[in-house]
Amino acid sequence: MAGWAEGDPLDVAPRLLGAVLTHAGVSVRLTEVEAYRGPDDPGSHAFRGQTARNATMFGPAGRLYVYFVYGMHHCVNLVTGPEGDPGAVLLRAGEVVDGLPSARARRPGSSDRDLARGPARLCRALDIDLTSDGAIADLAGEQGPPGAIRVATGPRVGLRHAADRPWRFWIEGDPTVSAYRPAAPRPRTGR
């Protein structure tokens, strides 16, 4: 794994835009990511410390941290910090640039634009599930010289804690970037 993908998640996240992740015969050019800073970030899975679920986040940089959410979807992060420092970048969306037939078979009925548009779709297109947790990322390239792409930033998607932090990064104008959705407020229960 390239050294440019190691370090503070806020520095690594925008550098990942345009990089290509390959897994199970499909390659995706990353177009949208979110940074998570571990114990300093209430939106991070590592905010309250290490657990069996998030242990990979505490390992060495360059590994995939995969988790299951809402009882139906997988999401994948790239661990960025040195061992013991649980920073990571959620890989939110991308464009399939190789292995299109395999990605289409894994996401039947989806348009090519939507094959990896959103974190669960990206995992499905790449055939990433919990068995990929801890695997070394097959990541190549980086965005290129300054100005090669226009990077936009804004709030992370669907968070209830630290939702206002502009730690979501995407390639401006790219059609594979997912739609922004803030977290839905929790219904109040009467007592």
pLDDT digits (tens, 9 = 90+) for 60-117: 999 999 999 877 899 999 999 888 889 999 999 999 999 999 999 999 999 999 999 9
pTM: 0.89
Identify residue 113 by its one-letter amino acid code.
Answer: R
How far is Cα 103 from Cα 62, in angstroms, rounded to an integer? 23
Q: Where are the beta strands (DSSP E) in the chain?
A: 20-23, 26-36, 64-69, 73-79, 88-98, 138-140, 151-154, 168-171
Residues 129-164: tens digit of each pLDDT = 999 999 999 999 765 555 678 999 998 887 777 878
CATH fold label, 3-171: 3-methyladenine DNA Glycosylase; Chain A (3.10.300)
What sign does the dihedral 65-16-153-179 (CA atoms) show? negative
